[in-house]
C-alpha cells in the first residue's frame, strides 16, 4: 500500500482565499483523522471520521474550517476564508480501530497564508 | 484533565550515547493508551509503540526501550547506542475515552539531535 497520501504538499495562498486540502487514507482503514501542527500549539486533532461519518469535530478551530469524507478513500479539509494564522502543517492520518490504535500519517501539507 | 508533558525541549548527544526521553501524563481515566511517535526531518509521523494502561511491562525493540510506570504517571523512552538516523522530534501521546468520544493528546515533543 502507498500509505496515506496528501495533496498538495505545499500551498501558498492569499488571505481570504479558499483552501482545500486532500487526503487518501490507507485502504481498509475505517478511521481518518485531520491534525494541525504549529510551533505555538503543537499537534492538535481537528476532527476524525469513522466509516466516513464525523465523530468528533470539537478540535476544529472555527466555522471557517470544514471537513468532509464523501467516501472511504477520500477526505477534504477546507478553510474558507483563510487567514494568516491558519498557516501550519496539516496532517491526515488513518487507522484500523480508532484513537486507541496505531495511526499512519501522511507527509502533511504545509500551508502558508500571506 | 488530560495532559502530556515532555519537559525536554531539545536534547543533543553524541553518537553511541544512550539517551532517555521523558514523558509524564495526567488522566482521570483508568483505561487509556500511551504512544510514542517519531517525526524525522522529512515530516511525517511514524508510530513507534502503543501501551495500554493495564500493561506495565517494559518493552524492548532493538535499541529502543520503554519504561511505563503508573505510580509516577510516566512513559519514558530510551535509545541505546544512539545513531545519527535517530535524530528527529519524538512525541508522546495519550488517548482516553471521554464520554461518547475519544480524545488523543500529544505532548509538545522532544527534538533529539545525534551528532556524529
The pLDDT-based confidence of B55 (bands split at 50, 70, 90) is confident
Number of Cβ within 10 Å of residue A50's Cβ equals 15
Alpha helices in chain A (DSSP H): none
Q: Check A100 against B106: CB less than 8 A apart.
A: no
Q: Check A93 against B45: CB less than 8 A apart.
A: yes
Q: What is the pLDDT of residue A100?
A: 82
Mean pLDDT along residues A25-34: 95
Closest CA to A91 of A2, A15, A4: A4
How many angstroms separate the CA of residue A105 from the nearest CA in chain B?
6
pLDDT, tens digit (0-9, with 9 covering 90-100), for B84-100: 999 999 999 999 876 55
CB contacts, 8 Å: A42 with chain B: 106-109
Residue A101 pLDDT greater than 90, yes or no: no
Q: What is the pLDDT of residue A67?
A: 98
DSSP code, position B35: E
The pLDDT-based confidence of A29 (bands split at 50, 70, 90) is very high
DSSP code, position A59: T
* The C-alpha cell that represents A94 in the structure block: 488513518
Dihedral, CA of residue A93, residue A94, residue A99 and residue A103, to nearest 10: -70
Give the one of A58, A93, A107 whose C-beta lies nearest to B43's C-beta: A107
The pLDDT-based confidence of B29 (bands split at 50, 70, 90) is confident
Mean pLDDT along residues B24-28: 93
DSSP code, position B31: S
Mean pLDDT along residues B54-77: 92
What value does the mean pLDDT of chain B take? 92
Q: What is the pLDDT of residue A32?
A: 96
Q: What is the pLDDT of residue B101?
A: 60
Q: What is the pLDDT of residue B40?
A: 94
Give the one of B44, B101, B106 whose C-beta lies nearest to A55's C-beta: B101
What value does the mean pLDDT of chain A take? 94
Q: Check A100 against B43: CB less than 8 A apart.
A: no
Mean pLDDT along residues A18-40: 96
- Contact, B107 vs B21, CB < 8 A? no
Interface test with chain A among B5, B48, B53, B104, by most A beta carbons within 10 Å: B104
Mean pLDDT along residues B66-91: 96
Q: What is the pLDDT of residue B59?
A: 86
Distance CA B94, CA B105 (A): 5
Q: What is the pLDDT of residue A1?
A: 62
B32 Cα distance to chain centroid = 15
Q: Check A107 against B44: CB less than 8 A apart.
A: yes
Side-chain half-sphere exposure of B17, counting CA atoms within 13 A: 14
Mean pLDDT along residues A58-73: 94
CB contacts, 8 Å: B50 with chain A: 100-102
Helix or strand holding residue A54 (H, E): strand A53-56
Amino acid at each position: 500500500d502507498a500509505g496515506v497520501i496528501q495533496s498538495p504538499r505545499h500551498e501558498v495562498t492569499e488571505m481570504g482565499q479558499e483552501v482545500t486540502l486532500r487526503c487518501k487514507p490507507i485502504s481498509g482503514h475505517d478511521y481518518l483523522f485531520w491534525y494541525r501542527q504549529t510551533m505555538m500549539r503543537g499537534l492538535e486533532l481537528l476532527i476524525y471520521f469513522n466509516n466516513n461519518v464525523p465523530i468528533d469535530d470539537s478540535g476544529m478551530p472555527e466555522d471557517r474550517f470544514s471537513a468532509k469524507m464523501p467516501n472511504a478513500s477520500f477526505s477534504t479539509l477546507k478553510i474558507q476564508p483563510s487567514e494568516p494564522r491558519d498557516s501550519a502543517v496539516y496532517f491526515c492520518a488513518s487507522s484500523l480501530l480508532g484513537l486507541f490504535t496505531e495511526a499512519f500519517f501522511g507527509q502533511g501539507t504545509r500551508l502558508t497564508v500571506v | 484533565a488530560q495532559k502530556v508533558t515532555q519537559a525536554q525541549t531539545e536534547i543533543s548527544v553524541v553518537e553511541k550515547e544512550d539517551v532517555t526521553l521523558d514523558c509524564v501524563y495526567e488522566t482521570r481515566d483508568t483505561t487509556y493508551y500511551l504512544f510514542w511517535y517519531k517525526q524525522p526531518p522529512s515530516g511525517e509521523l511514524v508510530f513507534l509503540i502503543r501501551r495500554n494502561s493495564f500493561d506495565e511491562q517494559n518493552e524492548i525493540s532493538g535499541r529502543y526501550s520503554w519504561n511505563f510506570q503508573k505510580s509516577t504517571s510516566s512513559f519514558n523512552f530510551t535509545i541505546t547506542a544512539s545513531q545519527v538516523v535517530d535524530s528527529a522530534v519524538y512525541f508522546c501521546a495519550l488517548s482516553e475515552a471521554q464520554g461518547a468520544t475519544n480524545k488523543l493528546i500529544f505532548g509538545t515533543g522532544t527534538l533529539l539531535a545525534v551528532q556524529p
